[in-house]
Amino acid sequence: MQCVILAAGRGTRMRELTRALPKPLLEVRGKTLLEHKFDALPDDVDEIVLVIGYLGSMIQKRFGNSYEGKKITYVEQDSLHGTAAALWSASGILHGRFIVMMGDDLYGKKDVGRACKADRSGVGTCRRSDTWLVFGMDLEQLNGAGKIIVSNGTVVGIIESDEHGTSGLASTNLFSLDVRLFEYEMIPKRRGSEEYGLPQTVLAASKVSGIPLELARAGSWIQITAPEDLKYAEKILENSAA
């Protein structure tokens, strides 16, 4: 199985920390953000597809072509036009079912494992192999995350951060998808935007195709958007290891 990690962005909100270093190489508790994701992958995943862009050569130099027996394939996103465009950059080398993670956020190992098994054993309300899946977490402060709207276990809406309140069910952007997605058009993150959003694209494709986009509740997710989030992640991981 393939895991796609979108690691092309500039990480401008990290300010000086990403002036000379790509955001996915920032460290929490002695490991890069990418290594935390690599280590969360189950044996089902035998290939990591890294979509790189900003300072991507540093990522390639750091990890080479493999990580603990898992093949690493690099795809360069020439123009940074959103998370859907990043995934589409890798469309030519993907096959069957795959999972998608963001290159900066931290995900729980159990959740990643559940995402990988969504086509076989069912996760959350997922009942069929023709179902797509997104992981969400209830938060008191959404902090810029998209807000998921659910009806009977099926995702019917994803609202951008400038259009919703502070609390709700946040999209973690951990997806279980398959290559049928690429039969449909990318959708802008919001009207008039030059960025194509992956949540918006998956939801629109689900509605047109009839492939249900179902919700799985995430047990662990740490969103890394600003320097203070690294300190917060340090505390969370330190407490969980205690």
Q: Which pair of structure tokens corresponds to residue 170? A: 């946040």
How many domains does the chain fold into?
1
Write out the residue range of the structural domain in which residue 111 sits. Answer: 2-241
Q: What is the mean pLDDT of each run of 10 residues along the chain (242 residues)?
A: 95 90 96 97 97 96 97 91 95 96 96 86 49 93 86 89 73 96 93 89 96 94 93 91 61
Judge whether 77 and 52 are in contact, CB under 8 Å.
Answer: yes
Question: Measuring CA to CA, which residue among 109, 138, 68, 100 is closest to residue 240?
Answer: 109
Q: Dump strand ranges (E) for the chain.
A: 2-7, 27-28, 31-32, 47-52, 66-67, 70-76, 97-102, 106-107, 132-139, 147-151, 154-159, 168-178, 213-217, 221-222
User: How is residue 188 annotated by DSSP?
Assistant: B
Using CB atoms within 10 A of its CB, is residue 184 exposed (0-12), middle (13-18) or buried (19+)? middle
CATH of the domain at 11: 3.90.550.10
pLDDT at 30: 95
Judge whether 11 and 18 are in contact, CB under 8 Å.
Answer: yes
pLDDT at 67: 98
Using CB atoms within 10 A of its CB, is residue 69 exposed (0-12), middle (13-18) or buried (19+)? exposed
Phi-psi region of 152 (alpha: psi -120 to 50; beta: other; left: phi over 0): left
Residues 6+ apart with CB under 8 A from 72: 47, 48, 50, 63, 64, 65, 66
CB atoms within 10 A of CB 64: 9
